[in-house]
Amino acid sequence: MPIWSISSDFRQITVCRVVAAVLAVAVAFAEPALAIAQESGPESATGLKLENRLLQLPPADKNPSVIISAADLPPEAASDVIGEGDQLLITVFGQPDLTADVTVGESGVITLPLVGTVEVKGRTATEIAAVFSKKLEQGQYIKNPKVSIKVIQQLSRTFSVLGEVLRPGRYPLQGQISILDALSLAGGVSQKAEKNLRILRREPGKPASELREYSSIKLELDAVRVAPELAQKIQPNDVLFVPQIKNFYVYGEVRKPGMYPVEDDLNVMRVLSIGGGVTDRGSVRRIIIYRKMPGGEVREVAAGIMDGVLPGDVVFINERIF
């Protein structure tokens, strides 16, 4: 047999094998599609198979009224928690008669149309809407009600910055704000501000008007780093108070008499240095401090060079006798 004939027969066999393989792959891919088409056909005996599979899935909750605690909320969502003094506008879609504008009292309870009292303190607006909706449906007042709650004014999450700041007042507490951020919102401290900040905080279970001094922080503002005390977060109803700087006075035989701010561990020697030193006619042995006492009277105190100087003191340097 000629060689070319054998080669031709071999090519024919190879082509047949390739065509058979392609047909097998096509049939393999066509079987699932055909099965799905048969299941979806209206006249097929297996036409309900796909529907039965869907029915086996767990049903969705028709009343998603699970209440989440405010403690479980992330910090950025904590500003939505309702508290005493907050004003809420409650509306029900398609039911204008159920619109209510309420303010949360000290008890944390509000009165809603048809359902009566509802405890709202410590819950978010979304949670309160879910509770109201559930009560309306359970009482068979409205079927599938759509409740919306808008916070008109939120006084329960505010803080105040008072004293020697450029913009004293009350500010909303949105999320977490540090002491440094609070001072920045108030415009920063004035030139008369003392290098000390007092934090007044409400005691648990006490009225909002009863505050106590929680801590005192030195206002050491460094451009390189922020003191850890200034980075701590403030709480709702905190009052940040920046006192006016306390002064002392130096007069008499000094080169620069006048009023100066009080420093830590201030004594007469430091006062004389701040006042430019004693003049040629002055005497460091004849120094008198005029000090106002708690009762209001002013007392003369003979002072030595190492005696301490208090806020409001008037240090007077007398002339030398000889």
CATH classification at residue 290 = 3.10.560.10
pLDDT tens figures, 202-224 = 776 666 667 788 888 888 766 55
Instruction: Tell me what pLDDT residue 172 has.
Output: 84
104, 82 contact by CB (below 8 A): yes
153, 185, 213 - which closes a domain: 153
Residue 83 lies inside a defined structural domain of this protein: yes
Reported as a pLDDT band with limits 50, 70 and 90, residue 250 is very high
Q: Pick the residue with more confidence: 227 or 165?
A: 165
Residue 178 inside a domain? The answer is: yes
180 and 118 fall within a common domain = no
pLDDT at 175: 74
171 assigned to some structural domain: yes
Domain end marker among 118, 153, 188? 153
Task: Please indicate, yes or no, whether residues 232 and 251 belong to a single structural domain of this protein.
Answer: no
What CATH number has the domain bearing residue 100? 3.30.1950.10
Please give the average per-residue pLDDT across 286-296, as a whole number.
92
| Cα→Cα distances 279→177, 260, 267, 289, Å | 52, 19, 19, 18
Same domain, 143 and 162: no
Domain assignment of residue 61, yes or no: no
Domain of residue 314, residue span: 247-319
| pLDDT for residue 132 is more than 70 | yes
Residue 306 sits in the same domain as residue 282: yes
Which value, to the nearest 10 degrees, does the dihedral of the CA atoms of residues 93, 94, 100, 106 take? Answer: -30
For 190, residues 6+ apart whose C-beta sits below 8 A from its C-beta are 164, 165, 166
39 lies in the same domain as 85? no
Pair (236, 179) in one structural domain: yes
Top-confidence range, 12-26, 72-86, 181-195, 265-279? 265-279
Choose the weakest-confidence range: 28-32, 188-192, 297-301, 313-317.
28-32
Residues 110 and 139 in one domain: yes
If residue 212 lies in a helix (H) or strand (E), which one and from where to where? Answer: strand 211-218
Among the candidates 180, 214, 242, a domain finishes at 242
Instruction: Say whether both 142 and 173 belong to one domain.
Output: no
Are residues 296 and 232 part of one domain?
no
Asked, for residue 62, whether it belongs to a domain, the answer is no
For the chain, the residue count is 322
Q: What's the CA dihedral at 301, 304, 305, 306 to 10 degrees?
A: -90
Residue owning tokens 């910055």: 161
Mean pLDDT across the chain, nearest whole number? 76
In a domain, 142, yes or no: yes
Task: Give the pLDDT confidence of 7-20 residue by residue, as tens digits.
Answer: 444 445 444 554 45
Q: What is the Cα–Cα distance from 198 to 251, expressed in whole angstroms?
A: 32
Say if residue 162 is in the same domain as residue 238: yes
Q: Report pLDDT for 155.
A: 78
Q: Is the residue at 60 inside a domain?
A: no
Average pLDDT over residues 257-276: 93
Is the pLDDT confidence value at 167 over 70?
yes
> At residue 172, what are phi and psi to the nearest 5 degrees?
-75, 140
Strand partners, 317: 252, 287
**Whether residues 149 and 81 fall in one domain:** yes
Number of domains in the chain: 4
Average pLDDT on 294-312 reads: 92
In a shared domain, residues 99 and 118: yes
